[in-house]
Amino acid sequence: MQQDSARNRRKQAIRAHADAFAERRRDWKRRTRYFHDLDAKYMRFLVPEGQKVLDLGCGPGDLLAALEPSAGVGIDFSPKMIEIARDAHPHLQFHLADVENPDEMDAVDGGPFDAIILSDAIGTFEDCQATLENLHRFCHRDTRIIISYYAYGWEPLLRAAERLGLKMPQVEQNSISPADLQHFLHLADFTTVKQERRILSPIGFFGFGRLLNRWISFLPLVRRMTIRSYTVASSARLAPLPEQSVSVSIIIPCRNERGNVEAAIRRLPSFGSSQEIIFIEGHSQDGTFEEIERVAKAYEETHTIRYARQDGIGKGDAMRKGYAMAKGDILMILDGDLTVPPEELPKFYDAIVGGKGDFINGSRLVYPMEDDAMRFLNRIANSVFAWVFSWLLNQRITDTLCGTKVLSRGHYQRIADNRGYFGEFDPFGDFDLIFGASKQNLRIIDMPVRYASRTYGETQISRFRHGWLLLRMVLFAYKKLAAI
């Protein structure tokens, strides 16, 4: 009883503080515009335009409006904040409700939502776990919870800024680190997709702050000193896909792989409600296309086999053509050299259908390899690039260039629709998918596979030419992501 009374007093104090500063909040935001513009810019990166968005603790609704949702709903327990939000953004919906009160949240309509935003609201909750648990009702399979909060190590500086009149005063906030957020989400049955840290300098300081935030704050170790954290999570309570209704398209890019075409068909296990196999031939010199025609005819009674010649060059071009032809619910890439055995594909299928991840990425660097499967320098380079891209994207990726990657057709379409953000710069196709999956906040899961030696043909990879391309892509990605 005494604890409930203390909680009520704190909540009343927070509401009174919000009402008291509601009229002046925009003035404070204008004074600290540099910081708030950076924060909103990264939130727009995490929440693509046109989504259905629920903003919890929305204040005057400015962040919700900045996200340009197709439908936006804001919740706040401050009557004055809701009044200001409704006047400023009449095209959005705003409800007066306590986010921590399940009965009041029952009145919120418009769900499920594509994104649920908690921008600093987590700092005022009396029971973070219970409040997060109550959000599952607003989620569908692809809903992302996005929690932005300040780094508690900055608390002394922030309090000093308040005393100097450089920052709007705040009531006492919860001491929550990014690791604490992960624990709360886990306890509430949410899976953390990724965590990002941004903004080393909250002030512009004649361009010096911009230099720090764009080029320095992104570096390893330095990013741990930044002021802002962003955590993306998804519900772990949703049922897996019904296996009996999930069809599969297996896309096999092949160039000079005549000896592997029939082997791919013979070795491919049966899984999914139906399978189609799509060969994309890349201007071979060894009769690969003619072999595909022969095999398609020979196996037409037992397999659905489709094929085409690619229009451009490079594996990336072949993959995009195959994806455009595919009709299955699940899309798989299998390299025509069969160094990732076709027998491994059911594991990828089980992982994605079972809801273990949204983007299942093969990793060749876990199990021992067959002799001559990968040259020593290639293995070192693959390990280095995997570390670099894990750092860039804040999601663990142990092998960026494994040819086997699996995702749903719907998720691929989202990547394709937003390809313009990074551009069609990738001749391999692997980074186009990895960058796109990260941009769409997909859960990227590595699937260790056995990597075998070639039994036919020669590798298409040039260590130095393709290594230079990979280095250019690292620099491109760093520049693009640092510019957010």
Number of H helices, E strands in the chain: 17, 14
Q: Which whole-number Å values give the CA distances from 199 to 41, 123, 175, in the listed order? A: 11, 19, 19
Q: What pLDDT was estimated at residue 3?
A: 57
pLDDT at 297: 97
Question: Mean pLDDT, the chain, as a whole number?
Answer: 89
pLDDT at position 56 is: 97
**pLDDT for position 457:** 67
For the chain, 484 residues long, the average pLDDT of each consecutive 10-residue run is: 68 85 84 92 94 96 97 96 96 96 89 95 94 96 96 85 84 91 97 94 90 87 92 90 86 94 96 96 94 97 96 89 96 94 96 94 87 72 82 87 92 90 74 90 94 74 65 76 70
For the chain, domains (ranges, CATH) are: 2-235 (3.40.50.150), 243-482 (3.90.550.10)
pLDDT at residue 331, as a whole number:
98
Residue from 307, 301, 256 nearest 278 by CA: 307
SS3 at position 14: helix
* Distance separating alpha carbons of residues 385 and 391, to the nearest angstrom: 10
For 100-122, the pLDDT digits (tens) are 999 999 888 888 999 999 999 99
pTM above 0.85, yes or no: yes
d(CA 143, CA 162) in angstroms, rounded, equals 36
What's at 316, amino acid-wise?
G
pLDDT confidence of residue 452: 84
Q: In DSSP terms, which residues pair with 249 in a beta bridge?
A: 276, 331
Quickly tell me which residue has 């394709």 as its tokens: 416
Residue 224 CB-density burial (10 A; 0-12 exposed, 13-18 middle, 19+ buried): exposed
pLDDT of residue 410: 95
Nearest to 150 by CA among 115, 130, 174: 174
Give me the pLDDT at residue 21, please: 83
What is the rounded distance in angstroms from the CA atom of residue 220 to the CA atom of residue 392? 9
